[in-house]
Amino acid sequence: MPILETRNLTKIYPGAEQVVALNQVSLAVEKGELVAIMGDSGSGKSTLLHMLAGVDKPTEGQVLIQDVDITSLNEKEMTIFRRRNIGLIYQSFNLIPNITVEKNILLPLMLDQRKPAPAFFEEVIQTLRIDNKLKRFPHQLSGGEQQRVAIARSLITRPAIILADEPTGNLDRKNSEEVTSLFRLVNQRFHATILLVTHDEKIALSCERIMFMVDGTLHEREVI
Amino acid sequence: MIISELAKSSVKNRGRSSAVFYSVLIAVIILGTLLFIYSELELGQWNYHRKMFGDYHAILYDINEEEYELLQKNASIKMMEPSKVIQIENVPFHRPNVVFYQQSPILFDTCSGLIESQLVEGRLPQQSNEVLASNTFVFENPSYSLGKTIRLGDKDYQICGVYKYQLLSFDKNYLFYGQLASNDSENLFQGDSDGVFATIWFKNERDTYSSMRQILRDLGRKDEDTLLKEGTLNYNTEYLEGKLIFKSGLIPSRGFVERWSLRVGLLGCVLVLFAVMIYNAFNVWNNQELRQIGLLKSSGMTPGQMHRLVIEKALRLSLLPILLGLVLSYLFANLLFYLMWLNSINVHLPFQPQQFKMVTPNLTVFIVLFILALLCVLLAALKPAKQSSKLSVIESLKGVRVYTRRVRLHRNKNDRNVIHGLAKDNAISYQHTFRGLSLAMALSVLIFSTVLIVQSYRDLNDKYNKADSPYTLTSTLYTIERAPRSLLADLELIPEIDAVHILVSYDFEYMQSENQGFISDQLRDSLQDSGRDYHPRVTVYALADADFQTILAEHGFNPSKQEGFLLLDRIAQNPNKAYMYRKYIPLSRDTADSITVLDNKDRERYNLTIAGRIERFPFDLNPMLPDQIALFTSLTNLEDFLFANDKVDEENPLVYRVKVKADLEVLPQVTEEVRKVLNKHVPSSDAYTRNLLADLAAKKEQYRNELLLTIGAQVVFMIIGFSNAYNSFHINLQTRTRDFALLKSVGMTAKQIKKMLHYETWFIIRRVILYYVLMLVGGVFVVSAMKEFMFSPWQLALNINYPLLVLFFLISILGIWGAMENGVRKISDQSIITALREE
């Protein structure tokens, strides 16, 4: 059973001229997969990501995560679901600037009034090499380090899926490669299901599955 | 040109700029109202004085012919107008003498407003053969009236006007006003003249005091202060001070400083408040246009051009509310004065204006207000202009991040309540965005607290800094004869009267050098400790004979062997304390059996024997004054002394005070009865009666006006507070747009966000309450210290009008809460995508 599934997902923006951002997108992602979605600017990939994260509602279709149709949840239910089951990473400004790195990582658990499993927490921060940066503030970290913290936060609740929207878009080549390799590491070590939106072919090639968004429709290409 | 076009188009978007519009409008209305009130009180008062007394600079009395000629040649004098007083005796009128006061035509035109306001019929003299007579003269001499001819001295005059002027029955002189003919001016010192004086205008009025001092030196006259004390020199002080010309040069008089320091302080605080208020509103509006700024910068607009654009936007946007505010502030000031006039009508005071008079629409005030408002707007726009010009293209295209570097970071130990912990972190990190709100709240608290503390002091002063007099009615009689003994007996017959006493007094000067062994050791020590000077006057009080006998008997003195005076042998150890809390120490040494005094009128010395000592003012007729040595004797004794030594005449009549104790319910009837009895014994012109009800009514009006002003001030500060709260929350939440989006995407529910913001709001309110308490405590200490701790800070604090203060707190807090709820709604409506979108 796929951990993530979309059925005929459609998003139309009304206006003087209607914009069909997503057109009958059907997608299935199995647990533990590392998937890249590529596409040109304006192809609808970020819109798809927003639908999957539950931050936007489709015009038609369904999104199922662990068999839960998130499109039928109300805002509060969706927020709580997202907190517990979805990790989100953006291109930049991922962290709350006025709280420490440690708090940034633990934020979803704290909001759920849960404490982290110490061993798991330790493993996450060691894997991401941010164990010595817990007491710092975001502005004291480099771009790459900030993205690592964002990845740690996305992992801490052991979510069903991690969604990343252009996570290396603001990084230089060295940091991009590092972050990309971290995604692979996290995918392997924690069996995290990760869906990356990117326009960078190099990053896409590091994933086991690549999909293409073209004018709101999704196409698959297998990587051997 | 393009900058002006851009500024114009930006201003057209009314929806976005409405907060700035209303902030400026409110600021101008409040500032304008304050200025109109000041102007009406000060300028109105100054203009009134000028109208009544003229714009002369100084008057020098008792000048002789030589001095007059010297003054005419004096280069510093622009204009000098003479006046002459002629005493005419044995005139064929009801009273034997006439004092004929003649002045030049210019003085009638410019300096006779007071007399003109007293006109009952006719007009002021316009020719030298015309004269003004008093209504008393016309009443007592029925053959003379308006238009009739009267002979004064060796000339005939036509009565051109009748003015209101009360004379005591024993006054021997009628007062007439006439115009100096041109040949009179030349012959000022010829013929009958009892005094010539010159009204002087200097070429440079700023040199009034220095020029006059030089003139006095040139004329060989006594020094300025002596002449002022004697009354032979007079400055038009109120007029001169209105033009900021002071006797001590650049240093204003104490009264001027006291009057204006509070006003200027208040105006200054209000200006700062408004600049902050407009700055907050303008900052919000400007931040909404950040993307446009980014685009303009990326298109090539230089920082200097951006600076100009933001300033021009601010000024253009503010023009309409400033102009509207000018008009509305004038109307609001009128409304305030109208409410006070209505209040005075309800209280039914004597001498109240029958018709409401509009506030003078002073052009200067409008201009000053316009300039101050523009200045406020300009100051408020400077910082946003600077920030906008320095902002990078990327930052402005992405949205608001201008405060990033100023976020204060705080490592909070892990709070078991994560929402509370996050709220605490945010409250500390983003406190600078609430600076405007905190400053505005602090200033308004300072002003409001000061008002309440000063009122508290005034209330305590009214309650405790006066002698508790049991008397509810006082009549004052002027006479040059002994008081009729049957007067007291007739007053005692009035049934509702509980007690009645009569009192007369005479003042002497205390001779320090001749009373070396007089004051007590305790008083000497007290004076040394406090470092204060002691220059008392000696007042001899005479009680009705029977009352004096009662006092003698009460204190065990033998009335038949009574020679000399009873000394009130008590003085306040610390006169700075409120009257009710004063402790009293002996005034004199036990061995002091007399006191040497000087009568200033005839420079005669007297050695007054002290026959006994008492510790209270008899019958509590008067308060015990710290600068007075009171001696008591019987009415007969004092009258005998005064008449035997020719101390009583028309110029120095005896002033008897009749003190009556009666219940307030029957006071109006008692007052009428007392007046009837007095009129039986003395002419009605020689007696005046006043009861407590008039004082209470005046106080009631004063308190109602103050309450009106306090509530008005409260409303004003609350509007300012709400405006600042709204704008501050807006800035804060806008700064954190992305943070909220992140929190939502991480899984913070709307309820959790709301709870976090509630906590943050509570932290702000807690800080505001702390400011309130600190300002109150500080203010109480300052006011208490300024009044030399007449009342302790604790007493002042206990007496504050707490219901009003609590109401102010509550409404302010509600305003802050409302602004926060408004912000929460906006966050809830915000889409995560829009907030997180990167261009």
Interface size A-B, in CB pairs within 8 Å, comes to 73
Q: How far apart are CA B483 and CA B656, in angstroms?
A: 8
Quick check: A71 pLDDT over 90? Answer: yes
Q: Which of A130, A110, A120, A179 is nearest to A155 (CA)?
A: A120
Parallel, antiparallel, or unpaired for β B537-543 and B628-634? parallel
The first and second tokens of residue B503, run together, are: 């009192």
Q: How far apart are CA A167 and CA A144, in angstroms?
A: 10
User: Which amino acid type is present at position B798?
Assistant: L
- How far is CA B455 from its chain centroid? 13
The enclosing domain of A213 has a CATH number of 3.40.50.300
Q: How far apart are CA B391 and CA B306, in angstroms?
A: 10
Which residue spans within B721-823 are E strands per DSSP? Answer: none
pLDDT, tens only, B743-787: 888 889 888 988 998 888 888 888 878 877 888 888 899 888 888
Q: Mutation test of the interface with chain A: which of B401, B745, B834, choosing the one with the most A Cβ atoms within 10 A?
A: B745
Q: How far apart are CA A112 and CA B74, in angstroms?
A: 94
**Nearest 5 degrees, angle CA B279-CA B282-CA B284?**
110
B595 contact partners, CB below 8 Å, separation of at least 6: B510, B515, B518, B538, B567, B588, B607, B608, B610, B629, B631
Q: How far apart are CA B482 and CA A48, in angstroms?
A: 112
A121 contact partners, CB below 8 Å, separation of at least 6: A105, A106, A156
pLDDT for the residue B762: 86
Find the range with the poorest average confidence among A213-222, B69-78, B270-279, B480-489.
B270-279
Q: Calculate mean pLDDT across residues B703-713.
A: 76
The rounded radius of gyration (Å) of the Cα atoms in chain A is 17
The first and second tokens of residue B306, run together, are: 């951006």
Nearest CA in chain B to A138: B409
Quick check: B522 pLDDT over 90? Answer: yes
Interface contact B749-A139, CB threshold 8 A: no
Residue identified by tokens 């033009």 is B243
pLDDT, tens only, B382-418: 888 888 887 766 566 555 444 444 455 556 555 558 8
The first and second tokens of residue B571, run together, are: 């003085």
pLDDT for the residue B375: 87
Q: How far apart are CA B233 and CA B211, in angstroms?
A: 13
Q: Calculate mean pLDDT across residues B810-821.
A: 81
Report yes or no: A58 and A7 within 8 Å, Cβ to Cβ: no
Q: Which of B176, B172, B74, B190 is nearest to B115 (CA)?
A: B176
| Residue in B746, B832, B833 nearest the CB of A111 | B746
Q: Which of A58, A55, A68 is nearest to A23 (CA)?
A: A58
**Nearest 5 degrees, angle CA B822-CA B745-CA A56?**
85
Nearest CA in chain A to B418: A110
Report yes or no: B113 and B237 within 8 Å, Cβ to Cβ: no
Q: Is the ipTM of this complex over 0.85?
A: no
Q: Which of A83, A40, A43, A47 is nearest to A63 (CA)?
A: A47
Q: Which residue has the higher pLDDT, B46 or B837?
A: B46
Interface contact B742-A96, CB threshold 8 A: yes
The rounded radius of gyration (Å) of the Cα atoms in chain B is 36
Q: Mutation test of the interface with chain B: which of A51, A96, A155, choosing the one with the most B Cβ atoms within 10 A?
A: A96
pLDDT, tens only, B146-182: 999 999 988 999 999 999 998 999 999 999 999 988 7
Q: How far apart are the first and last CA of chain A?
A: 23
Q: Which residues of A touch B744 (CB under 8 A)?
A: 55, 79
- How far is CA B88 from its chain centroid? 43
Domain residue limits at A8: 4-221
Q: How far apart are CA B584 and CA B580, in angstroms?
A: 11
Residue-by-residue DSSP string for B96-164:
SEEEEEEE-HHHHHHS-HHHHHTEEEE----STTEEEEEHHHHHH-TT--TT-EEEETTEEEEEEEEE-
Quick check: B191 pLDDT over 60? Answer: yes
pLDDT for the residue B283: 73
A65 confidence band (pLDDT: 50, 70, 90): very high
pLDDT, tens only, B104-154: 999 988 888 889 989 999 999 999 999 999 999 999 999 999 999 999 988
Q: Calculate mean pLDDT across residues B648-652.
A: 88
Number of Cβ within a 10 Å radius of residue B471: 21
Q: Which residue has the higher pLDDT, B94 or B23?
A: B94
- How far is CA B440 from each of CA A140, B48, B216, B445, B767, rounded to the nearest angstrom? 34, 37, 54, 8, 13
Interface contact A108-B747, CB threshold 8 A: yes
B804 confidence band (pLDDT: 50, 70, 90): confident
- The verdict on A114 touching B (C-beta cutoff 8 Å) is no
Sign of the CA dihedral running B743, B745, B748, B750: positive
| Residue in B422, B426, B747 nearest the CB of A79 | B747
- How far is CA B116 from its chain centroid? 28
pLDDT for the residue B213: 95
Q: Which of B441, B381, B373, B447 is nearest to B25 (CA)?
A: B373
Find the range with the poorest average confidence among A47-51, B301-305, B560-564.
B560-564
pLDDT for the residue B300: 67
Q: Which of B535, B514, B565 is nearest to B626 (CA)?
A: B535
Q: Calculate mean pLDDT across residues B486-499.
A: 91
Q: Which residues of A touch B426 (CB under 8 A)?
A: 98
| Residue in A55, A79, A98 nearest the CB of B748 | A79
Q: Which residue has the higher pLDDT, B353 or B312?
A: B312
| Residue in A76, A88, A137 nearest the CB of B745 | A88
The first and second tokens of residue B121, run together, are: 């019929």
Q: Looking at residue B490, what DSSP letter applies?
A: H
Q: Which residues of A touch B836 (CB under 8 A)?
A: 90, 93
Average pLDDT, chain B: 85
pLDDT, tens only, A105-136: 998 888 888 888 999 999 999 999 999 999 99
**How many domains are contained in chain A?**
1
B537 confidence band (pLDDT: 50, 70, 90): very high
Find the range with the poorest average confidence among B122-136, B598-612, B701-715, B773-787.
B701-715
| Residue in B404, B411, B746 nearest the CB of A108 | B746
The first and second tokens of residue A58, run together, are: 């489709």
Interface contact B407-A80, CB threshold 8 A: no
Quick check: A95 pLDDT over 90? Answer: no
pLDDT for the residue A222: 53
Report yes or no: B742 and A83 within 8 Å, Cβ to Cβ: no
Residue identified by tokens 């804060």 is B732
Question: Which secondary-structure segment (H or E) carries B752?
Answer: helix B750-786
Q: Which of A158, A90, A162, A95 is nearest to A130 (CA)?
A: A95
| Residue ranges of chain B whose CB lies within 8 Å of a chain A CB | 404, 407-411, 418, 422, 425-426, 429-430, 738-739, 742-752, 831-833, 836, 838
3-state secondary structure of B232: coil
Q: Which of B168, B245, B164 is nearest to B201 (CA)?
A: B245
Interface contact B404-A98, CB threshold 8 A: no
Strand partners, A89: A164
Report yes or no: B726 and B733 within 8 Å, Cβ to Cβ: no
Q: Which of B769, B768, B829 is nearest to B431 (CA)?
A: B768
pLDDT for the residue B85: 92
Count of positions (residues) in chain A? 224
Query: How far off is chain B from A215, nearest CA to CA, in Å?
Result: 20
Residue identified by tokens 């975001």 is A138
Residue-by-residue DSSP string for B518-571:
TB-HHHHHHHHHHT-----EEEEEEE-HHHHHHHHHHTT--GGG--SEEEE-EE
Interface contact B742-A83, CB threshold 8 A: no
pLDDT, tens only, B658-688: 999 999 899 999 999 999 999 999 888 899 9
pLDDT, tens only, B538-554: 999 999 999 999 999 99
Strand partners, B586: B570
Q: Looking at residue A193, what DSSP letter applies?
A: -
Q: What is the pTM of this model?
A: 0.70
Interface contact B832-A99, CB threshold 8 A: no
Residue identified by tokens 């006095």 is B216
Nearest CA in chain A to B412: A99
